[in-house]
């Protein structure tokens, strides 16, 4: 019985070393993001803006476009700052981000949002909204490198 246990133990150790050696470690970094967006609409809202990604000591200009469907009424401007998680390279930030949510902004209000694109990049943004807008919608935000 002792020989079988010892052989089994050695086999498990060898198997573990083989599996661990074949798995590549995951590596991703975090960047900071600053975005300015203007939005207006009645039922269908449209918006656009610009921004900057700071990643690994370099600044990358961003273009931001958006479209929302649902009960959107009014106009607003938002200035958002936050972090971009799970970046392997700066170009990973490009893509379509979606979120389902609702909110109200009257005059100036605080806002926050968490979005994710198909590459797994997560944007956590917070900021201030100026204007008058009531929304309960599904939004799509397209971010690209300029």
Q: Set out the domains of the chain in order of their start, with CATH numbers.
A: 27-145 (2.40.128)
pTM: 0.69
Q: Are 64 and 77 in contact (CB under 8 A)?
A: no
Task: Name the band, by pLDDT with cuts 50, 70 and 90, for residue 128.
Answer: confident
What's the mean pLDDT in 87-94?
96
pLDDT tens sequence across 1-58: 445 555 545 444 544 444 443 333 357 899 999 998 887 776 566 678 899 999 999 9
> What's the Cα-to-Cα distance from 32 to each of 45, 93, 131, rounded to whole Å?
27, 11, 25
Q: What is the pLDDT of residue 114?
A: 84
Show Cβ contacts of residue 87 under 8 Å, excluding neighbours closer than 6 positions. Answer: 28, 29, 30, 31, 55, 93, 121
pLDDT of the residue at 68: 61
pLDDT reported for residue 140: 72
103: exposed, middle or buried (C-beta count within 10 Å: 0-12, 13-18, 19+)?
middle
């Amino acid at each position: 019985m002792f020989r079988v246990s010892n052989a089994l133990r050695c086999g498990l150790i060898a198997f573990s070393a083989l599996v661990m050696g074949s798995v590549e470690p995951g590596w991703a970094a975090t960047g900071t993001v600053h975005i300015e967006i203007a939005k207006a609409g009645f039922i269908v809202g449209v918006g656009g803006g610009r921004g900057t990604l700071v990643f690994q000591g370099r600044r990358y200009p961003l273009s931001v476009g958006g479209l929302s469907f649902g009960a959107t009424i009014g106009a607003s401007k938002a200035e958002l700052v936050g972090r971009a998680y799970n970046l392997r390279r700066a170009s990973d930030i490009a893509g379509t981000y979606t979120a389902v949510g609702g909110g109200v902004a009257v005059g100036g209000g605080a806002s926050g949002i968490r979005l994710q694109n198909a590459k797994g990049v997560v944007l956590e943004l917070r900021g201030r909204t100026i204007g008058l807008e009531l929304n309960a919608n599904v939004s799509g935000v397209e971010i690209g490198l300029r």
